[in-house]
Every structure is written in C-alpha cells, then in structure tokens.
Amino acid sequence: MTTMTENASGLREFKMPDVGEGLTEAEILKWYVQPGDTVTDGQVVCEVETAKAAVELPIPYNGVVHELRFPEGTTVDVGTSIIAVNVGGGAVAPAADAPAQEAPVQETPAEEAKPQGRTPVLVGYGVAESSTKRRPRKGAEVPARKPEPEAPAGTYYAASAIQAEMNGHSAPAASRPLAKPPVRKLAKDLGVDLATVTPSGPDGIITREDVHAAVAPPAPQPTVVQTPAAPAPAPAPVSTYDGARETRVPVKGVRKMTAQAMVGSAFTAPHVTEFVTIDVTRTMKLVEELRQDKEMQGLRVNPLLLIAKALLVAIKRNPDVNASWDEANQEIVLKHYVNLGIAAATPRGLIVPNIKDAHDKTLPQLAQALGELVSTAREGKTSPAAMQGGTVTITNVGVFGVDTGTPILNPGESAILAVGAIKLQPWVHKGKVKPRQVTTLALSFDHRLVDGELGSKVLADVAAILEQPKRLITWA
C-alpha cells in the first residue's frame, strides 16, 4: 500500500497509513521531528494511537522535513498527508496539497481557475479529477477538450464539491455522491444507488446510516384517530457542567474501542459466570521452587504463569471450550490452537494481547512469552497484530486486591478466567483449621458455545491443578 506522493520539485507527502486492520483514523500522539530536521529511511517520525494500540510510524525515504501537516493531539483520517519531506535537496515548490492552476476556459470574469486533479495514493482516498464540464458563454469558441479518465472505483469525491462551495457555486450535478470507501462498499452490497441517497454527514457526505435508511421499508401510515389533545411533555432537563469542579475527557483511541467492544460483547454473547474458591498453598510453594531452578533463571515466574499453564491443560482435556460463534453462517468454529489472551491495564486503557500458539509452549517458553507481553504492554508498544486472533483470556484482578469479579468476554472468544487475590485465610486442611493461601477463580463463558457441564468441567480442572500442581505432569 502506497502512503506517499512526490511532486516535480522533490517534495514527498507521507500519508497516514492503515496501521491496523481496516481502521479509518488515528490520533497523532507525538512528533519526533520538526521542520528542517534531516530524516533517513526507516527513522521513526511520530507516534500515533489507533482504536487498538499506539504505533510508531517510520518514514520510508531520506530527506529534510518541510512541514508537519497536523499538531499533536489531532485525529487524522487514513490516507491524509501528515508530513511533507524534501527529498530533492533544492528549493521546494508549494505544498503538494495546493492545486496547480491551469488556464481557465473563457468564462465570465467571476469564474476562477479550475484546480488540476491529483492522483489518489490509497484506494478510496485522495482527490479525483472532476468529470464535469463548464458551459461556454454564448458566442465564444471553446477549444475541444479531451475526455478525462474515469477515476478509480471508491475514490473519495470531496474536493470538487468543497471547492465549488468556497467559490460561491453549488456542486456540479454530474459529481458523484460524497462517501467514504466503506460506505460505498456497503451501498454496493445492498444494491443502493448512492445518487438516490440523501446525505446527512458534514459537507454532504453520505454515512452508513443514510445507506441503511435508503433500504429500510417505509413506515406504515398510521390510521388517523381523533383523540383529545395530550398535554405538552415537560421539557427535558438541561445537562449542566461545572467547569471548576468537573473535567470532561474525550473518549477516543484504545478506550473508545474497548467501550464499544465490551458493549457489543455484553449484549451479543449470553454470559454465564461460575466461581470456585480453592487452596493454592502448594502452587505458591512450587512458584518459589521454580524461581530457584536454573532452567527458569532470568524468566518471569509468578502465580500467573502456573495459572496460565493450568488453563491450557484444562482446555486440552476439554477442547470444545476453545471455540467461537460464527453468526453469519450459524456455525460453531472449533479452534485446534490456543492463543492465550492476557488482559493488561495501561495508561491508555485496557488491552488484551495474546500469546500465539500457547498450547505448544513449554513452561520456560510460556514464562518468556508472558514476560515479553507484559513489558511491551506497559511500555505502550503492543502492536495491533498482537491483539488479534485470541481464543481464551485470563484477567488477573487479584493484583488490585480484589477477591474476584464477573469478567466480560473478549469479543470473538468463548471464555475468560478471572483470578482473584491470593491471601492467607483460615482453611480446613487435613481435618484442622489452618492458615492457607486461598484464592477465588471466576470463569465466564458464552452459553451459545459452552453449556453448564462443559464450563464447570473446565473450571474444576483448573482448580484441581492449582490445588495439586503435580497434575500438570499427570494430566499434560
């Protein structure tokens, strides 16, 4: 995918790439360069935050920074130029976004020059050449013009309409409707002609809601019934805002995506949560022994490591729990691999990166993968790919001193295990009440995929392993 353009003077425009999977925008968090700085191929010039993660963007060529198009904190659409770099070493022509002027067709004195078109740099983005023609003044000869090439499918036709509005003219009737590529694809899939859709977005842009409204059946006309006039409803209360004692934080980036995902999960998958309280004293002793083992030196060894291993063994014994629901095809998709998600709280919000093929890893390999996953998340460097394809998840609420909770499924997954705080409690052990290390586990699962029996077996197996960790050997 191309993310840059170059003009004749050697000025290159680096455009916001799609750093995730189909994301449409990203926020510029930090610029690492300023105008006049020299940059080299592969040098990181800025950090951006998408709806999934913070990502550093490298520049793909050598040159001198000419202009930063947007300040820090700005949310920019994918395909928009964010930085201009002079790669020619000489004087730089005006910025590439300023359209070159061509000799106007003889018109009225108020007519302005027509901007020259630019070639789109991403499918669905950039400005397409207008295919409209001006009506010549009566009695004036207008030289023949070559037919202009048809713009690529999905091009975003915004510039011609906006320019016409700025010039005091209405948009040409022959212009294509304004819509972003995903909306055009939706209209195509639904068989909707965008020319017949009434836009509701800014600057006359057609939105997804407009397309859906175009295919919705008309509401039936209600039968008119003469009834006494009802009293006017009371006005809605006005929302007040105390600026001195309240702070409003925009919901965007990772936090916005998390909110949308959790609402979608909670109201799509029927959740069931089961609990069990267990004695993990033997597991805590094994953790201490592993920390002294030469094979585990330099690795992250903690209770979460053995809990993760216990869950992997329980999934191996009950493989049907490792699945997903395909709503479109009405199928259950059984996964023959485990991508183990670990919920991590970061300054930007909750993220759930996962360990790919965790089922194939030895205990030292699992410890190394857990350590890398946690450190990367804390640094805010988790990539979008690391958060895709999870099958089951562990969330450790015990680190906050919480006994347990009812976790919400990560979208697309079948189960999530919450681990509570491990602490000394009175416990009946071998017929006597003794202080033992005790914790509570909670397993939430999608009841479309996992019935009560299967969910109970998985939770019981995890509990049994943590009470008697030697089962890691006998059951593995």
- pLDDT tens for residues 422-456? 999 999 999 999 999 999 999 999 988 899 999 99
- Which of 182, 176, 223 is CA-nearest to residue 204? 176
Q: What pLDDT digit, counting tens, does each position of 42-98 carry?
A: 899 998 887 667 788 888 889 999 999 999 888 888 889 999 999 876 554 444 443
The span from the first CA to the last CA of the chain, in angstroms, equals 45
Token pair of 12, please? 């290159």
Q: CB neighbours of 183 closer than 8 A, spacing ≥ 6?
A: 206, 207, 208, 210, 211
How far from 430 is each of 276, 433, 436, CA to CA, in Å? 20, 8, 12
- The reply to whether the predicted model has a pTM over 0.85 is no
Specify the fold of 4-86: OB fold (Dihydrolipoamide Acetyltransferase, E2P) (2.40.50)
Query: Average per-residue pLDDT in the chain?
Result: 77
Cα dihedral: 70, 71, 76, 82 (round 10): 40
The radius of gyration of the chain's CA atoms, rounded to the nearest angstrom, is 30
Q: CB neighbours of 341 closer than 8 A, spacing ≥ 6?
A: 352, 353, 354, 355, 390, 391, 392, 393, 394, 410, 413, 416
Q: How far apart are CA 458 and CA 467, in angstroms?
A: 14
Q: What pLDDT digit, counting tens, does each position of 312-344 carry?
A: 999 999 999 999 988 888 888 999 999 999 998
Q: What pLDDT digit, counting tens, does each position of 157-175 carry?
A: 343 343 444 444 444 444 5
How many residues are there in the chain?
476
**Spans of all domains in the chain:** 4-86, 254-474
Q: How far apart are CA 112 and CA 140, in angstroms?
A: 17
Active site annotation includes 169: no
329 CA to centre of own chain: 24
Collapsing DSSP to helix, strand or coil, 380 comes out as coil
Q: What pLDDT digit, counting tens, does each position of 245-281 carry?
A: 777 777 666 556 666 666 666 656 678 899 999 999 9
Is the predicted pLDDT of residue 8 greater than 60, yes or no? no
For residue 399, what is the DSSP state?
A: G
Specify the fold of 254-474: Chloramphenicol Acetyltransferase (3.30.559)
Collapsing DSSP to helix, strand or coil, 84 comes out as strand
Collapsing DSSP to helix, strand or coil, 156 comes out as coil
Q: How far apart are CA 66 and CA 52, in angstroms?
A: 30
Q: CB neighbours of 398 closer than 8 A, spacing ≥ 6?
A: 419, 420, 421, 422, 439
Predicted confidence at residue 353, as pLDDT, reads 92
Collapsing DSSP to helix, strand or coil, 272 comes out as strand
Predicted confidence at residue 421, as pLDDT, reads 96
Q: How far apart are CA 313 and CA 465, in angstroms?
A: 9
Residues 126, 79 contacting (CB under 8 angstroms)? yes
For residue 191, what is the DSSP state?
A: T
Confidence of residue 7 (pLDDT cuts 50, 70, 90): low
